[in-house]
């Protein structure tokens, strides 16, 4: 129970600091420091966590990829591409309600750290038709972006989960299709359906629904996203390299001036965001080096709790602690495989519980960048997401017990 208590105290500190408007990076480094102190501190633990952070290639891959994501966001926003996409989409779909869900859901097909920054401006534009609080816009953008988390075949965590459990990827996805359906339905009826349409005569966002659809705006806005997807999936390029090629291509397509390129590089170097990502990675390494998750898993396994519930709890806690599907899978699936390799039910429980956990994690980068974009309150934004995650866990329980 001591291990569980350490986790609770550490997370409580991080949440309190975030609520006090302490930056993400500082809050997580403080949490890592407290975890270190509570775990019989040894210099070797701190040394190994620091070495892993600085010497692991994936650290720099993630930081560079996110920097280039911010470059592309600058290009799409300052060139008017996002505004044009919204106008064309409104003309085609005739509904801002559809756009509120569709834009983050579509961009959610492209997995990237902090990728919610792509869809946030689109949600902002669609939300202009309604009186939505920053917290509600944050929740909408965050939730709909992740409805494919259990079914998108290019998500790295799914590939790793399939490999560890020795369950074919198609089989694993097939058993989790219901998750995307549930996410879409509960999100739509909770967030979108209650919204009132714009009244006649009120000012609408740019682009009348009666305007002709200009499909070139779709190609210009969605081309970079689909191009990145093709490079990653079709040519197996790293996310950072594919984003570099996409940004370079957009410089040519947009005929970007040299002064604009310099402004883009300056804008993309978001110290707060990059520091936050560094802190998330360091926090994960501290969890590994202190053995905290191993201790928690041991407590659960020796508790006499049913196996599936233990696996679900491990996955959920791992998701909360890491705020990432990759982190959740890396921690929970070795336990799941040790218990029952090849068992798709065990794999589904571990993965879906981890997904629910990461969605309410204070370390989830997509949530944090969205909160920052909309200048929303952290806890108020998270409240409705907790309700949504509870629905997923309830559906998982029903599916596991009765189906």
pLDDT at 352: 96
Distance of alpha carbon 16 from alpha carbon 2, whole angstroms: 21
Distance of alpha carbon 389 from alpha carbon 163, whole angstroms: 26
- 143 close to 114: Cβ distance less than 8 angstroms: no
Question: Taking the alpha carbons of 131, 134, 138, 139 in that order, is the dihedral positive or negative?
Answer: negative
pTM of whole model > 0.75?
no
User: pLDDT tens digits for the chain (403 residues)?
Assistant: 677 788 778 878 877 887 677 876 888 899 889 989 988 788 888 899 899 889 988 788 878 877 887 888 788 878 888 777 777 777 777 777 888 888 888 778 766 666 677 788 888 888 887 889 999 999 999 999 999 999 887 677 887 788 778 888 888 888 999 999 999 999 999 999 988 765 444 444 444 545 555 677 778 877 887 787 678 767 877 778 888 999 999 999 999 999 999 999 998 887 777 787 788 778 778 877 888 767 776 776 677 778 888 889 888 988 888 787 877 887 788 778 877 778 999 999 999 999 999 999 987 888 888 898 898 998 899 999 999 999 999 999 998 887 6
Nearest to 291 by CA among 49, 58, 52, 54: 49
pLDDT at 4: 75
């Amino acid at each position: 129970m001591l291990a569980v208590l350490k986790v609770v105290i550490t997370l409580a500190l991080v949440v309190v600091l975030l609520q006090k408007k302490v930056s993400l990076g500082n809050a997580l480094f403080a949490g890592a420091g407290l975890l270190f102190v509570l775990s019989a501190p040894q210099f070797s633990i701190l040394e190994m966590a620091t070495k892993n952070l600085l010497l692991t290639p994936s650290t720099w891959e993630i930081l560079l990829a996110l920097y280039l994501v911010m470059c592309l966001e600058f290009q799409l926003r300052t060139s008017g591409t996002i505004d044009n996409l919204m106008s064309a989409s409104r003309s085609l779909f005739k509904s801002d309600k559809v756009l509120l869900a569709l834009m983050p859901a579509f961009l959610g097909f492209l997995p990237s750290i902090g990728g919610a920054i792509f869809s946030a401006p689109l949600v902002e534009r669609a939300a202009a038709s309604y009186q939505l609080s920053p917290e509600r816009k944050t929740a909408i953008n965050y939730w709909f972006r992740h409805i494919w988390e259990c079914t998108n075949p290019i998500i790295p965590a799914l590939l790793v989960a399939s490999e560890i459990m020795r369950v074919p990827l198609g089989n694993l996805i097939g058993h989790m299709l219901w998750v995307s359906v549930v996410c879409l339905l509960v999100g739509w009826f909770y967030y979108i359906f209650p919204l009132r349409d714009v009244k006649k005569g009120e000012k609408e966002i740019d682009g009348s629904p009666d305007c002709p659809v200009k499909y070139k705006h779709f190609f210009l806005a969605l081309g970079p996203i689909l191009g990145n997807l093709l490079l990653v999936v079709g040519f197996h390029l790293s996310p950072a390299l594919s984003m570099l090629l996409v940004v370079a291509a957009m410089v040519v397509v947009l005929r970007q001036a040299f002064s604009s390129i310099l402004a883009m590089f300056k804008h993309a170097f978001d110290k707060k965001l990059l520091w936050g990502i560094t802190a998330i990675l360091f926090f994960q390494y501290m969890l590994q080096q202190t053995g905290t998750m191993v201790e928690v898993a041991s407590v659960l396994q020796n508790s006499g709790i049913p196996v599936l519930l233990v696996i679900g709890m491990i996955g959920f806690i791992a998701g909360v602690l890491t705020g990432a599907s990759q982190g959740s899978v890396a921690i929970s699936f070795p336990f799941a495989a040790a218990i029952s390799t090849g068992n798709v039910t065990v794999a589904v429980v571990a993965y879906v519980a981890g997904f629910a956990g990461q969605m309410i994690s204070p370390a989830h980068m997509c949530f944090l960048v969205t909160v920052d974009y909309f200048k929303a309150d952290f806890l108020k934004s998270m409240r409705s997401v907790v309700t949504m995650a509870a629905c997923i866990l309830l559906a998982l329980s029903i599916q596991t017990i009765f189906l």
